Structure 1
């Protein structure tokens, strides 16, 4: 990875990477398969063409650059994830909505990027949320513009499903813990969860979006009778 652009001075608060009401979601996290839009179709091919590669996104980042590069460098993609990503022999695209300051994004998206780099069956690009409100509006969770969002596209530029903005297990815990735990105590625990999980929950939930090819053996047998 090339060096990031010179960073702005980041807030000193330990929770700076999780800006209140912007990064964390209020809805249950995890995958959503077969999303149906109610706001008109998006031109995913045009969005993809103007999106950034992971390297470009990180190079332009002004906040938490060392976190983005460090997580990517240390990320280890499990063999099961590489196998599952390529088991169909088809290429899918992952269009990500993120911002560099978002701690949930910097603890998940580097794993997705490395999966794409190593698996060769998934391509990933990034759109900045604040520069693409028309895209973010399609994936608003209640009143929260939560990121990251990962949109899975097939080879015809159709949305297969989407994921965000945290692994389901973590989000369920956050929704319960935030009732009694102050934010300054909550965010370090979120970071520890991500460090222990090593991206596996994120990869598992995103890969669950991939369509499964159904066998035609049964249908052929039925037709022959």
Structure 2
């Protein structure tokens, strides 16, 4: 298996604005999540303390609910901090990349690939925050998919992108520790009590 040419992939990847403009059906959703996204000070400080720019190459599709609830936060962090650059590859147009980052046998997205010096991969993240994914893997044993989706959306509304940012930033070299404490895992009963966010129901499957 040949190594991926991340430089070439980056050069043909889309900026966030380009990706959103091409996403005609879900353009309003992605624009709205980005506009309302709040980047906490600890995340901005952590991103900038590494002292150099890292590139984030994202695999996503605009119809994916997990992507629309995470990628806009990452894009806004990069825009505010000027220390992370982000571009997006459409998953379905890049199967050779997606197949390097499978979740088991599933082509789950989004995937965020962190690139450092000489276009070397520092690490990758996806396709959901660890706390949420752990809950989904357990809950889907007894819960129909159509009942899982509303609870997933509520989790994202409560979390406001913080778990995604924290886990991706943890892949970067540490200058100083993030002082904000990690929120404790939410029990299943709390998941069902969260207010639903304005996100789409488009999932390829619960991975």
TM-score by length of 2: 0.83
Structure 2 distance, partners of 1:64, 1:213, is 38
Higher-Rg member (1/2): 1
Q: Would you say the 8 A contact 2:129–2:164 is kept in 1? A: yes
The aligned runs of 1:141-220 (5 Å cut-off) are 141-212=103-174
Partner of 1:125: 87
Q: Aligned with 2:99: secondary structure?
A: helix
The aligned runs of 1:1-225 (5 Å cut-off) are 39-212=1-174
Query: Once the 2 structures are TM-superposed, how far is the Cα of residue 84 of structure 1 from its aligned partner?
Result: 0.4
Q: Would you say the 8 A contact 1:99–1:129 is kept in 2? A: yes
List alignment gaps of at least 5 residues for structure 1: 1-38, 215-225
Structure 1 distance, partners of 2:51, 2:152, is 35
Query: Once the 2 structures are TM-superposed, how far is the Cα of residue 106 of structure 1 from its aligned partner?
Result: 0.3
Q: Would you say the 8 A contact 1:91–1:155 is kept in 2? A: no
Structure 2 distance, partners of 1:188, 1:161, is 30
Q: State the number of aligned residues.
A: 176
Moved over 6 A (4+): none
Query: Once the 2 structures are TM-superposed, how far is the Cα of residue 62 of structure 1 from its aligned partner?
Result: 3.3
Structure 2 distance, partners of 1:139, 1:182, is 26
Query: Once the 2 structures are TM-superposed, how far is the Cα of residue 43 of structure 1 from its aligned partner?
Result: 0.6
Q: Would you say the 8 A contact 1:62–1:100 is kept in 2? A: no
By relative contact order (CA 8 Å, sep 6+), the higher-ranking structure is 1
Structure 1 distance, partners of 2:157, 2:35, is 14
Query: Once the 2 structures are TM-superposed, how far is the Cα of residue 164 of structure 1 from its aligned partner?
Result: 0.2
Structure 1 distance, partners of 2:25, 2:134, is 27
**Cα deviation code 1:63-110 (max 9, x no counterpart):** 322221111000010000001001021000000000010000000000
Q: Aligned with 1:139: secondary structure?
A: coil
* RMSD (CA atoms): 1.2
**Cα deviation code 1:123-164 (max 9, x no counterpart):** 000000000111011111221011000000013210000000
Structure 2 distance, partners of 1:70, 1:213, is 33
